[in-house]
Structure 1
């Protein structure tokens, strides 16, 4: 099984450890991991800002880089969602590209969904002797985290509620975004956990930035791949 890892531009630039952790997990599940060396962005920022031409060019690039793989996996719900949900709209005026983009979308997965639903990973390499809370409502990451030795999960209130990032939303609606991030930080603190774990680096940067501005210098902000792979030190 050849799995193409879409690292994401944020992970590449800001926290490469998430990419390496993702590779370790995929290989633990028996996958052959391929990382296209010239990959960049999925096109979501441009798409959300109305730059359809720029986003479409990036979509065509992603399709060309990953269509030969059995699956495309990304350690990001927003990037995998962009490919699965919006590439068809971007490519609708080009029947050939639309067909290729649709085929790629059908085999695109967010990392924890792929580990749980496709690879059926029953053991993880990492251990984490601490209490965490999780920002998300999905079952797959919780099932995987339950297999991490030493880890305890303390659910926060409104775990499913947005942190206020939303890509360009945080730029366009800064005051609303800040209030949403403040609410999330309060829920994290109330959980009593020493770390908040989540599955998207954009949200991680938003939450950690707000935590630090509020004076919280201790709560760790970790990607689920780092915890599962044992690369969260």
Structure 2
């Protein structure tokens, strides 16, 4: 069982729905952060393009519509409420998973809980660093589609969010914001170098639809 709440932003245009009546400042703050995060994402995509010997806009061309529609990218505000009283065994903040897209940017508060799985299969605490972005591409987690593009050279890392044993962090609300960066829906993802039977070509939309169907079963 997961203990968390989420507010997703998939579009930044005038049709995007925000709680303007109750939280009028929320739209401005989120849109500003989203645009700054998108700019950073394009810098990372340029660096990736150059790293793999491509034109500097190679990956940017696959991600033209981040938060503009026909693209599964999302800015997600995550609220982990305080734990009041005892929980039965099995409750966590967020279960083990890999992110579905290319990479993820994470803004988190000072409280612990996030863990990533090492290559050896052990769980490692991702300790918050004040005033920084924990960039999953560099330090923790690459998404499924970058693993496909690199034929496993850059593997998607599993991660989870636990409820710490410390009483302070259990009774204090936790907040994080993430930008999941995805290619445009029609982009066909396949290894950049040569065909690999482990990673057959798939469109970005087909992959995220499959992952959503596996994750959310009602």
TM-score normalized by the length of structure 2:
0.28
Structure holding more helix per residue: 1
Structure holding more strand per residue: 2
TM-score normalized by the length of structure 1:
0.26
